[in-house]
Amino acid sequence: MPQHTRPARGMRDFLPADVRRRQYVIDVVRGVYERYGFEPLETPALENIETLTGKYGEEGNKLIFKVLRRGEHETSGETDLALRYDLTVPLARVVAENRGQLPKFFKRYQIQPVWRADRPARGRFREFFQCDVDAIGSASAVVEVEMIAAVSEVLQTLGFTDFVVQLNHRQLLSAMLDGARVAAERQNDAMVAIDKLDKIGRDGVKQELIARGIDGAAADQCLRAFEDVQEYNALAGRSERGAEASRNVAEILTLVEATPASGHVKFTPRLARGLSYYTGAIMEISVEGIGSLGGGGRYDGLIGMFSGEQIPACGFSLGLERILVIMSEREMFPPHVASSSPDVLVTVFDAASAADSLRLAAELRSLALRVEVYPEADKLGKQFKYGSARNVAFVAILGSDERARGAVTIKNMKTGEQVTVPRAEVAARLRRDQRPTTSELH
């Protein structure tokens, strides 16, 4: 017996019930994004390694899955390819490559797996799906607003009511940190620490700021700013950059009220987000008591890293795995997603009757019923037991008695009732009997 039958660490097999739940969520996401005018894009799992390195910050760089060079170079330990770490950087590469053929405002969605060499934890894996939407080519606040509206509508369609879209702005944060005299090269570290304010508290953040090399007085001033909006605005407003960011945030907050996201968006001064490529508005979507379901923001500099031409861009990424964890916990899946067994099991009495069973199955399938034929001429008891385990609604019996009479016996597995009807009436009978069970699903 083989010892290792588990998938590799952090990777998962999806059994049929898992796939159905995942597919349900993906269908909703795709449907909403399509209605917002986003178009599908797919990119390769592997990228040239230089495409990925240097785009995610120090922490991100470490977590990239690298692929050894092949052939004679294999022993050198050199690496030339890597599994994609997110969907945004590949998008930026595609845009830089195909700029001429893409519309002026390119809106795309992408639902594919990404890989991170992270330590797995609850709702966190080394291979996981992201559902990204991005809009390329406009710096308007309308872009952020549509983004927020689309992800809000996804969550609403899935049945979430208690989500919050937190909104902040990198330039605003940066201007505030300037005002508090935090050195520019320390600001990224500072943001990471500040992001934990409600998690580790004021003292925890101060300790972390100091540990990250930020002056104690500057740390105190930052913390005061997050407790007092006046102080925050005063610090940030000292620069034109901060004032402009502030106007941008205000515009987004106003416009968003005209969308399905109305009432769900909250300006959150301490929101920072980890990825280094964000340049403007940053967003994170979370559900009470659970944490982040996804996030995004504006990254006006990323495409330029590939093409040299600065093209404004903004995107949002929903984490499929997180959504699934919460939906499972809260039992938010419609019943038909969970139970999806065949409608009918057709029994096989003996070798000679198999053809009849297959003919009946074909006929029922043409009526869009889901039909399974028992593959062996087992004892009837076994066939029933199997049907029961498969949770089928009906078992159709074609035994010697029935065949002699040109009839079929249909048993309703739920009620235990069974009737024998002429062969020609089976389809009509099942279709009629099917109605109550089908309607129970809704």
Partner RNA sequence: GUGGGUGUAGCUCAGUGGUAGAGCGCCUGACUGUGGCUCAGGAAGUCGCGGGUUCGAUCCCCGUCACCCACCCCA
413 touches RNA by CB under 7 A: yes
Give 372's contacts (C-beta < 8 A, 6+ positions apart).
342, 344, 345, 346, 361, 390, 392
9 touches RNA by CB under 7 A: yes
Q: How far is CA 40 from the centre of its chain?
A: 15
153 touches RNA by CB under 7 A: no
Contact residue for RNA among 319, 360, 371, 374 (CB under 7 A)? 319
Find the shortest distance in angstroms from Cβ 243 to RNA: 27
Q: Are 316 and 295 in contact (CB under 8 A)?
A: yes
192 touches RNA by CB under 7 A: yes
Contact residue for RNA among 29, 293, 326, 346 (CB under 7 A)? 293
Distance from C-alpha of 64 to C-alpha of 78, rounded to nearest angstrom: 14
Contact residue for RNA among 21, 169, 298, 322 (CB under 7 A)? 322
Task: Determine the size of the site formed for RNA (CB under 7 A).
Answer: 58
Our CB check for RNA shows the closer of 380 and 427 to be 380
- DSSP assignment of 81-119 equals EEE-S-SHHHHHHHHHHHGGGS-SSEEEEEEEEEE--PP
280 touches RNA by CB under 7 A: no
388 touches RNA by CB under 7 A: yes
332 touches RNA by CB under 7 A: no
Applying CB under 7 A, the span of 152-160, 334-342, 364-372, 398-406 interacting with RNA comes to: 398-406
Find the shortest distance in angstroms from Cβ 421 to RNA: 12
Q: Are 195 and 271 in contact (CB under 8 A)?
A: yes
Our CB check for RNA shows the closer of 192 and 337 to be 192
Q: How far is CA 234 from the centre of its chain?
A: 38
Four-CA torsion 411, 413, 414, 418, nearest 10 degrees: 20
Binders in 22-41 for RNA, by CB under 7 A = none
411 touches RNA by CB under 7 A: yes
Residue-wise burial string across 375-394, b where 16 or more C-beta atoms lie within 10 A, e elsewhere: eebeeeeebbebbeeeebbb
Nearest to residue 281, comparing CAs of 302, 296, 266, 263? 296
Q: Are 156 and 305 in contact (CB under 8 A)?
A: no
Nearest to residue 403, comparing CAs of 334, 332, 352? 352
399 touches RNA by CB under 7 A: yes
Contact string 93-132 vs RNA (x = CB under 7 A): -----------------------x-xxxxxxxxx-x-x--
Binders in 210-269 for RNA, by CB under 7 A = none
397 touches RNA by CB under 7 A: yes
Applying CB under 7 A, the span of 162-170, 237-245, 303-311, 314-322 interacting with RNA comes to: 314-322
Distance from C-alpha of 156 to C-alpha of 119, rounded to nearest angstrom: 31
Find the shortest distance in angstroms from Cβ 90 to RNA: 15
**Contact positions vs RNA (CB under 7 A):** 6, 9-10, 57, 59, 86, 116, 118-126, 128, 130, 192-193, 195-196, 199-200, 273-275, 291-295, 317-319, 321-322, 379-382, 384-385, 387-389, 397, 399-402, 409, 411, 413-416, 418
